Chains A and B, each alone.
Chain A
Amino acid sequence: MTASRLLLLAMLAQSLSLAQLLNPQDIGQPPTTSWPTYNGDYTGRRFSTLRQINPSTIHSLALQWMYRISNVGPQRGVGGAVIKSTPLMVKGVLYFTIPDHVFALDARTGREIWHYDWKDQGGHLVGNRGVGMYGDWLYFMSPDGWFISLQAKNGKERWRKKVADEKMQYFTTTSTLVVSNHVIVGVGGDAMDVPGYLESRDPETGDLQWRWDSEPRPGQPGAETWPNATAMGHGGGMTWLPGTYDKDLDLLYWGTGNPNPVYAGQGRKGSNLWTCSIVALHLDTGKLAWYFQASPHDTHDWDNVETPVLFDAEIDGKPRKLLAQAARNGYFFVLDRVTGENLVSKPFVPLNWSKGVDKRGQPIPDPAKEPAVDGSLLTIPAGGGTNWLPPSFSPETGLFYVNATRGYSLVYLTDTDERPEGYGGSARSLWSEHALEAIDYKTGNVAWSHAYPTAGGFGLGGPGILTTAGDLLFTGDYAGNLVAFAPKDGKILWHFPMTQSLSNGPATYLLADKQYLVVGAGDTLFAFALLDSHD
């Protein structure tokens, strides 16, 4: 951390009175009495140090309240409301979202405090991952590319800034990441070929601080991985899930999505940097520190936005600063997050699109398994080995947990033009099954796995995971149950039938000394706590 940064933080601390709801300096601590970011902290581990709810008390874990979204009709093109956001909880108030809507609830009772209703002019309503928070202010992304700041106390709009053009087929679904005096804003888009980017904006004014582009410009480093400027301009590398941050290294870690056109790679020979990558960016400038490309020259829609999870642990007996990711392409990666050096690359589901890894640990795509006009059979589902749903890492077990999907798909190339556009192909889902997998970070080996009895789907949605120091793992089973597993061996300890399947990542926090567990399932938020929690 630079001296100027320290000075800035000191000035910030002074200027923001103690009365503010959330001191930005408090974000990043292990969350206990709040859940102030999408992942709870900056590591993306979704591990809570709370232990009130544990294997010896879980028999009395009971529903405290439910909040059902009843004041929003069917959403354009998607139907009923589905909560994919992880709620923030700050000073007794929960803030959560669905596309076009922000809700504030009394965290103790589940009663609505206010509701913000945005009228979009386009964009996908595929999901919204929640709000970011700084001081007394919230940040919300509308589907049509507006970065909107609200007053947390009443949901009134402060200002809005246009960050992406929905007419160009960008859409915005992310939860922004607030770090120091930066709000990090990612974008999505894949119907038309547009370049991806990540922006840092001022929390007070919304003004642009820096922008990192997912593709180089002609002549810049990385341009050699594209055949020409036209192909490079088709872009991709969307930044649609929140990344993570290391305060000591002052680096942001972000995943980038697929290149464009999605399935038709004939017009973009080369590895197509920096799509389908994990990138480390300097917080103050957005300059690239290092990258690791998970899917060079992707032609399978392997968005690599899955959470880059940060933890410190031993490799070969030496303490290392690590980054781990269970990627949509079916590989589990462990990197040194100081340098980007690859330490582990190992499939966590069967796959045949790759011929192994190169000397940097990056998978080598098999050209024979690219989408073909007459169909190419893949031994991995069309939605990938996992997807956006949050994973978890427990420092107590040393295991990385992911809800995986195993299966098969058939992929067609439908656009054979030398200048393809859009998706350029389509996929058919075949047999698949969902399984909770616990992966040993040192080897990438699956330590244990629990296959859910429910038949698998495309693999796009699904339940996130939370682990706790109370020796529990919470997730959902795709059949409407909230389930608690023993993190060390996968034994089921508790369940609750919610009727709708878990659709977000569970969050937990203490409120008046009582540990709450809050989860979203379809259109309903459920809050659990122990019946008698003061023992």
Chain B
Amino acid sequence: MLLSLMCTLLAAQTAQRPAQRRRGAEGTREFLGLGRQPDAAAAARGKPLFVANCSFCHGANARGGDTGPDLLRSPVVLHDDKGEEIGPVVHNGRPARGMPAFPALTEAQLADLAEFLHMQVELAANRGTYQVKNIVTGNASAGEAYFNGPGKCNTCHSVTGDLQHIGTKHSADEIQRAFLYPSDREPPKVTVTLGSGEKITGTLKHLDDFDVSLTDAQGEFHSYAREGVKVEVEDKLAAHRRLLDQYNDSDMHNLTAYLVTLK
């Protein structure tokens, strides 16, 4: 059950991944009130213009250099929508502050330059766009030893069974997250023992300090006050939970390095 559960969870995550990622970036932008999504094509056109004209002072990624300020936190940039604030500053320069004028840039080029800056802001401010970098830093052999040794992962899992091809199906980030503690959990099984001694088992529907309810194998719903009944909730993930206290970061990274080799 546990073997298939882990596979099911990972499969479900894979199926939803692209949609979730899009929602993540757009939803976060809306939540933060960041305004419209920058135009990626215009930002790409603006990049070489920025590198050629601006990066000497403001740094390659517009985060500031030795002589020019950080433009990601610039009030001019953050108050700009489509170049109406940025354009005149670039075109005319700021002689009093030592910024030269760039009169040769066309309006279309200024708009592209502005869009490049908006994209840099987006990539820093919109945390829904963040991507985890390469996390496979561990030692795969040490990870395999941990899997079959102190981790006791092979008690429930098999690299030729439920985990076969896992490194092909899932990203390293997904694998690391999933083995630490699976996130998309099915409702657990529960057994309620009544005062009479009768036991009712099924899928947990609700549990708090006062009530417990469940659906039994026949699909029938049962609800009880907690007082006077005994409630036992099955915890299929108890081993994962225990390991959270056992791992050090090297164990975790080694396990990830091993699991991604299961192509």
Contacts and interface: CB of A to CB of B under 8 A. Distances in A.
Contacts of B70: 230, 419, 421
A191 B63 contact: no
A376 interface: yes
Contacts of A234: 73
A51 interface: no
A480 B207 CA distance: 11
Given A374-B137, A375-B176, A377-B247, A453 B207 contact: yes
Nearest to B181: A430
A454 B208 contact: yes
Contact of A167 (B27, B78, B126): B78
Interface in A446-504: 452-454, 477, 479-481, 483, 492, 495, 497
Contacts of A416: 133
B245 A375 contact: no
Interface in A44-95: 76-78
A107 interface: no
Interface in B119-162: 121, 124-127, 130-138
A102 to B, nearest CB: 20
A171 interface: yes
Contacts of A481: 208-210
A241 interface: no
Contacts of A124: 31-33
A144 interface: yes
Contacts of A166: 33
B33 A143 contact: yes
A171 B248 CA distance: 38
A378 B31 CA distance: 27
A422 B27 contact: no
A54 B203 CA distance: 38
Given A408-B181, A483-B209, A169 B125 contact: yes
A430 B180 contact: yes
Question: From DSSP, what is the main secondary structure of chain B's interface residues?
Answer: loop
A193 B32 CA distance: 14
A476 to B, nearest CB: 11
Contacts of B32: 77, 124, 169, 191
A423 B132 CA distance: 13
A480 B209 CA distance: 11
B33 A452 contact: no
A431 interface: yes
Contacts of B35: 122
A125 interface: yes
A191 B127 contact: yes
Contacts of B118: none
A373 B249 CA distance: 12
B249 A495 contact: no
Interface band, chain B: 35 or more
Interface in A168-197: 168-169, 171, 191-194
A481 B207 CA distance: 11
B252 A77 contact: no
A336 to B, nearest CB: 36
A216 interface: no
Contact of B31 (A125, A422, A492): A125
A123 B32 CA distance: 6
Interface string A222-253: 00000000100110000000000000000000
Contacts of B34: 169, 191
Contact of B244 (A126, A171, A430): A430
B209 A421 contact: no
Given A412-B135, A417-B61, A377 B180 contact: yes
A379 interface: yes
Contact of A375 (B27, B61, B135): B135
B180 A76 contact: no
Given A416-B133, A419-B63, A76 B33 contact: yes
A431 B33 contact: no
A426 interface: yes
B192 to A, nearest CB: 13
A386 to B, nearest CB: 20
B88 interface: no
B124 A408 contact: no
B99 to A, nearest CB: 18
B79 interface: yes
A192 B209 contact: no
B141 to A, nearest CB: 17
Contact of B181 (A123, A167, A431, A452): A431
20 contacts: A76-B33, A77-B32, A123-B33, A168-B75, A171-B33, A191-B127, A192-B121, A373-B134, A374-B136, A374-B249, A377-B180, A408-B180, A410-B176, A419-B61, A421-B125, A430-B180, A431-B240, A453-B207, A480-B208, A497-B210
Interface of A: 76-78, 120, 122-126, 143-144, 165-169, 171, 191-194, 230, 233-234, 368, 372-377, 379, 408, 410, 412, 414-417, 419, 421-423, 425-426, 428-431, 452-454, 477, 479-481, 483, 492, 495, 497
Interface of B: 27-28, 30-35, 59, 61, 63-64, 70, 72-73, 75, 78-79, 121, 124-127, 130-138, 176-177, 180-181, 183, 206-210, 237, 240-241, 244-245, 247-249, 252-253, 256
Given A171-B33, A374-B136, A377-B247, 5 more contacts: A375-B176, A377-B180, A412-B132, A454-B207, A497-B210
